[in-house]
Structure 1
Amino acid sequence: MIIKDIQLTNFGKFNHKYISLEPGLNIIYGENEAGKTTLHTFIRGMLFGIEKQRGKASAKDTYSKYQPWDNPSNYQGTMGIESDGVNYRIERNFSKENKSFKVINEDLGIELSQEQIDELFAGLDESCYYNTISISQLGSVTDKELENILKNYAANLGSTKSMEINIKEAFEELNTEKRKIISENKIGEEDEIRRYIRDDEDTLELSEREQHTIIASIEQKKESVARLQEKKKDLSARDAKRLEELARQNERKENLYQEVLSYTTELEKYNSMLEQIKSHKQSLENELKSKGIDNWETMDMLTDKVVNRSNIPIVFIILTMAFIGAAIGFTVGNVDLLYVGEYWMKPAICLGLAGVCLILSVVKFFVNKKKRNKKIESLKELKLVLDKLDAAKHEETYCMHQIDSKKDALEATQELIKAEEEKEVNSEDCSDELKEIEQQERELNEAISKANWILEQKKEKDIEVEARINESNHRLEVIKKAKFEIDAIEEAKTNIEKIATEIRNSFGKKLNEKASFYMSEITNGKYDNLSIDDRLNISINGKKSLIPASKLSKGTVEQIYMALRLAAADIIFEKDKKPILLDDAFVMYDNKRMGNTMKFMAESMEQVIIFSCHTREKVMADKLKIHHNFIKL
């Protein structure tokens, strides 16, 4: 099987990240935090899934670490593989809400059944994956720790690797491990822990009943609040109608008040005008009275008298005529006088006096005419005064009429105001009832808030109790596992004697041979024989002596570690080759070791995927002209 490509739809820091892989050597390079571990985890997850842990462990488990924040339900990806010349596509959604897993035969376009999937991945489980094809560096551990890691790895594979087994020592180690398990896991506390769990479960049950009661009470109070709100809504509508009527009444009263103010202002204006008119009228009457005129009859009489009075000076005209007549008489009465000079003087004197009277008549005519015109002008002025007096009287009458009219209107408006003030709004005043309902609503809401607070407190206590139960169950699980391990130890003690002989010449020998082959290849023939004794001590069988792993360099021990895993993969998977994943596996290798190993793997392995934060693997591949697929994150 080889991995053709991976598509991280939404996984960890990657979103729609596509990486194409090839048969042979693949080098995935990225600096720290670039996502190499994410890719490695994704490949493992696509093969075996990623389960979310329970309790406190869930906060820091692998599922939570790589779960996307922006769209948790879209926690998925695909991986293309090829097995026996057939192309498959693995589709997996890791989200616990939308969990799914499919394997599609892309050549036939069909989805594989579970039986077909099991057949496709036969022999590959997560434990096998970790112990064989997924290889990482051992890390910065001591020589003794390296030796123990190798021993444990060999033990996990079940290889006794020796023609003789020291059963006594094996039993002693198993018994020691059994006592250690009993001591560390406090198996004797199991009954007490179960009692604690029962007590806490009873507490939870009681709390649940109390919470149901509180919730029922809250629901009842919420229903009461809803009813109060409906009633408040109805009362508010009625009160709004009352307020609207009051507003209209106040508007009418305000309009009436404005009318009263307007009438009062007009009354004041007309009263002020009346006072001015009366004062003006009095001054006009006084002016006429001083001229002796008290009404229009007197004015008409004086006017007729002045207009009809003649300007001709009658006396002077009569005198003139008399003198003329006398002159004529003196002349006619004595004709001889015309010829007598002594009698001429009388007519002459008469005529002279007549001429004087005539002149005086003319002068008097013009003087009279001027006086008459002057009196007419004076009478015109007096007539104008009379007209003004009449106008003032009319204005006085008008003002008094207006004052009476405004007084009547003012009284009528005041009566209307009084009627509006005495008038009551028919709508019922609901304000007091509304206040009472609002008070009841506040009290109910406070009671609901208090009940919710109590409910939250109980829930928090329940969380603490559940945490204690989970912790107790975890302790029981630990004890269960410990008891299982003890049972396994007892069973192991029984089975050791049964299987020891069976595995001597089969698996152990085969593993030694395979591991020795790989050790020879990756060390370029320097070490070609591994030996594992009955106590699982690993040694290199040199030309002159047996060299224990504790005496070897860390780089050599790392090579032994890789040779063991490659050998185990060969034995477990036989002809069905699997891709080898190396996660910074060459850190402890020098360039020569790394070059030998990379060259061997590129030439012998179906597919190798190297994850590295260094470029030395690419530099080495280029130097040795090893064909490879380089991917930079």
Structure 2
Amino acid sequence: MEIIEIRMDHFGKFNGQSMEFHPGINVIYGDNETGKSTMRSFIRGMFFGIDRMRGRAAQQDEYSLRQPWENGSYFSGMLRFKSGDKIYRIERNFEKHDKEVRLICETDSRELEPEELSDFLQGLDETAFSNTVFFGGCSAETDDGLANAVRNGMINGGSGDLSGIDAAAAMEELKEERKSLEREKKKQVAAKIEKMQEISMKIEYAQQELEQLAAQETKHRERLKAMEEEIREAGELYGRDGEEAEEKAAGTMVWKIGKISMAVIAAAALVTALAVSSLQVRIGAVAVIILSCLGVQFFGVRDQKQKDIQREEEARLREQRLRREYERQKAQYERQQKNAPKKERLLANLEWTANARREKQVMLEELQEQQRALKMQNGEVEALDEKLSAVYLAMDTLSEVTAEIYQEYAQKLNARISEILSVITGGKYTGAYLDENFHVRVSTPQKLLSIWQVSRGTMEQIYFAMRMACAEFLNAEDTLPLILDDAFITYDDTRLEQTLRWLSQSGRQVLLFTCHRREQEILQRIYE
């Protein structure tokens, strides 16, 4: 690509100014505040546009800096360039509310789609563009954008076609996906732990309540048993009173039997006296009869008296028995009347406690079942683990592929960096390379140095060599113009001449914006 002309219709301090460029090195000289940086920014803006930032950043962003000083509603320009054997024109309106870009092939008199502009830039985005062929501001140092662009270029076969796989973006997406999955897994695990703790706490409370209900039920049963035992003991006391009455009746019966026995003895003596002829025997029998009769009489008198006493005693005992029975029945009735509500309450409490214990037991079993099910429920976490494994595998695979591709292309890239560095340093530094993390190392005959161990001027030359080698690597099919703005301030005259000599031999178009005369003077010596 070769930039032919720019026209800044309304851009910063410029209003309708044009400038033409030729192949090779173009030195655009001007003192400070003459608009060199504005012109350089215009060229980049024509290729990529200028977006307005948000918030406080919008107050000093590129859009605000480059707005027209006059007639701010018109913010536009034109750039003509040559690619191959055809000439193209870019027309762009930068105004944020009316953005427009047109790409026209002047040679064929036809308009192309604006997206086709990326093909002429070899697929470079603005970050890669600014890290290779567009730099200034007193430093050629690059940022992570160059590393990402080169990695992507390597993945796409070194062709510079970054519309394919974006390794850096893909890795970032994978990292974000990994973080998202890990957060979700942590959330799921935390939720499961919280649920397990909640169920365990409920189980513990249910077990405690079951123990309390069981203790209450036992207490109610013991009180009911004691109440029934009290009633039973009262019945046994009544039975003992009846036995005492029967014993007294038995004593009366013994007296009656004694009286009958005396009568029987007298009758037996009489029969004996009549049957025996002996006088003595008869006298004895008579005596026995008399005594027996006296005994019978005695028992008769006693019997009558005993009967009277017995009748009185029986009447008294009946009265006492009836009174005791009455008192017992009364006491039992009173106890029953007194204990009936207690017993009813006790039975009701017992029934309620038993039902509550059964319900609590059912709830406990359900909670234990939930706990077992939750322990077995790992489906969501396992699914997240599978996704995480896939992401880790993709990250490892991408890293391995990137490393393999780096090894394949890095040797060529590092060789080109070293070659350019050797030329522009007059052979003082012959080796420089990028490691797989894109950290720059410098090889000297004595030792291997980090870039921070060399002088500022040498550091700038190393970055310059790295930019040029990477630009060639990414733009293998077409060479983009090199746009520099006071890029050689730290160079001494010798380093500057060596660098300008290399640029003059590179065949690349260079737009060199500077506030110094020495670049033009050195170029005059080179071209003489």
Deviation at 1:107, TM superposition (A): 1.4
- Would the alpha carbon gap of residues 125 and 72 (structure 1) be closer, same or farther in structure 2, given more than 3 Å must change? same
1:529 aligns with 2:431: yes
- Would the alpha carbon gap of residues 151 and 75 (structure 1) be closer, same or farther in structure 2, given more than 3 Å must change? closer
* Counterpart position of 1:442: none
Aligned residues of 2:150 and 2:470 also touching (Cα < 8 A): no
Which among 473, 488, 501 is matched to residue 571 of structure 1? 473
* Counterpart position of 1:29: 29
Deviation digits for residues 117-172 of structure 1, max 9, x if unmatched?
34333322211211111122554xxxxxx9xx568576445569xxxxxxxxxxxx
- Would the alpha carbon gap of residues 560 and 490 (structure 1) be closer, same or farther in structure 2, given more than 3 Å must change? farther
1:545 aligns with 2:472: no
Higher relative contact order (CA 8 A, sep 6+): 1
Deviation digits for residues 432-459 of structure 1, max 9, x if unmatched?
xxxxxxxxxxxxxxxxxxxxxxxxxxxx
Aligned residues of 2:128 and 2:145 also touching (Cα < 8 A): no
Deviation at 1:529, TM superposition (A): 2.0
Which among 488, 493, 516 is matched to residue 614 of structure 1? 516
1:558 aligns with 2:448: no
- Would the alpha carbon gap of residues 118 and 548 (structure 1) be closer, same or farther in structure 2, given more than 3 Å must change? closer
- Would the alpha carbon gap of residues 152 and 74 (structure 1) be closer, same or farther in structure 2, given more than 3 Å must change? closer
- Would the alpha carbon gap of residues 50 and 491 (structure 1) be closer, same or farther in structure 2, given more than 3 Å must change? farther
Aligned residues of 1:137 and 1:558 also touching (Cα < 8 A): no
Give matches, 1:309-348, under 5 Å: none
Deviation digits for residues 488-541 of structure 1, max 9, x if unmatched?
99975663244323321x232222022112112222333232133456442332
SS of 1:102 mapped into structure 2: strand
* Counterpart position of 2:406: 503
Root mean square deviation, CA, Å:
3.3
Q: Distance in 1 between matches of 2:103 and 2:4?
A: 14
Q: Distance in 1 between matches of 2:519 and 2:85?
A: 29
Q: Distance in 2 between matches of 1:536 and 1:97?
A: 40
Deviation at 1:609, TM superposition (A): 0.8
Aligned residues of 2:82 and 2:88 also touching (Cα < 8 A): yes
Structure 2 letter corresponding to 1:551? Q
Structure 2 letter corresponding to 1:495? L
Deviation at 1:105, TM superposition (A): 1.1
Aligned residues of 2:406 and 2:436 also touching (Cα < 8 A): no
SS of 1:15 mapped into structure 2: coil
1:3 aligns with 2:11: no
* Counterpart position of 1:133: 133
Gap regions ≥5 residues in structure 1: 140-145, 161-173, 188-487, 627-633
* Counterpart position of 2:106: 106
Aligned residues of 1:138 and 1:558 also touching (Cα < 8 A): no
Aligned residues of 1:4 and 1:22 also touching (Cα < 8 A): yes
Structure 1 letter corresponding to 2:106? E
Structure 2 letter corresponding to 1:578? L
- Would the alpha carbon gap of residues 533 and 112 (structure 1) be closer, same or farther in structure 2, given more than 3 Å must change? closer
- Would the alpha carbon gap of residues 153 and 529 (structure 1) be closer, same or farther in structure 2, given more than 3 Å must change? farther
Q: Distance in 2 between matches of 1:503 and 1:61?
A: 36
Which among 575, 590, 596 is matched to residue 498 of structure 2? 596
Structure 2 letter corresponding to 1:499? T
Larger Rg: 1
* Counterpart position of 1:94: 94
Which among 471, 482, 485 is matched to residue 583 of structure 1? 485
- Would the alpha carbon gap of residues 555 and 69 (structure 1) be closer, same or farther in structure 2, given more than 3 Å must change? closer
* Counterpart position of 2:57: 57
Aligned residues of 1:137 and 1:586 also touching (Cα < 8 A): no
- Would the alpha carbon gap of residues 517 and 54 (structure 1) be closer, same or farther in structure 2, given more than 3 Å must change? same
Structure 1 letter corresponding to 2:97? E
SS of 2:50 mapped into structure 1: coil
SS of 1:78 mapped into structure 2: strand
Aligned residues of 2:80 and 2:88 also touching (Cα < 8 A): yes
* Counterpart position of 1:463: none
* Counterpart position of 1:16: 16
- Would the alpha carbon gap of residues 32 and 490 (structure 1) be closer, same or farther in structure 2, given more than 3 Å must change? farther
- Would the alpha carbon gap of residues 535 and 128 (structure 1) be closer, same or farther in structure 2, given more than 3 Å must change? closer
Deviation digits for residues 298-321 of structure 1, max 9, x if unmatched?
xxxxxxxxxxxxxxxxxxxxxxxx
Aligned residues of 1:133 and 1:569 also touching (Cα < 8 A): yes
Deviation at 1:67, TM superposition (A): 1.1
SS of 1:571 mapped into structure 2: helix
Higher mean displacement: 1-10 or 533-542: 533-542
Deviation at 1:563, TM superposition (A): 0.6
Deviation at 1:619, TM superposition (A): 2.0
Give matches, 1:449-460, under 5 Å: none
- Would the alpha carbon gap of residues 514 and 100 (structure 1) be closer, same or farther in structure 2, given more than 3 Å must change? same
Aligned residues of 2:127 and 2:146 also touching (Cα < 8 A): no
Deviation digits for residues 194-217 of structure 1, max 9, x if unmatched?
xxxxxxxxxxxxxxxxxxxxxxxx
Aligned residues of 2:128 and 2:146 also touching (Cα < 8 A): no
Deviation digits for residues 231-252 of structure 1, max 9, x if unmatched?
xxxxxxxxxxxxxxxxxxxxxx
For these two proteins, the number of residue pairs brought into alignment is 299
- Would the alpha carbon gap of residues 115 and 36 (structure 1) be closer, same or farther in structure 2, given more than 3 Å must change? closer
- Would the alpha carbon gap of residues 97 and 489 (structure 1) be closer, same or farther in structure 2, given more than 3 Å must change? farther
- Would the alpha carbon gap of residues 56 and 8 (structure 1) be closer, same or farther in structure 2, given more than 3 Å must change? same
Gap regions ≥5 residues in structure 2: 153-170, 184-390
- Would the alpha carbon gap of residues 550 and 120 (structure 1) be closer, same or farther in structure 2, given more than 3 Å must change? closer
Q: Distance in 2 between matches of 1:566 and 1:112?
A: 30
Deviation at 1:58, TM superposition (A): 2.2
- Would the alpha carbon gap of residues 120 and 153 (structure 1) be closer, same or farther in structure 2, given more than 3 Å must change? closer
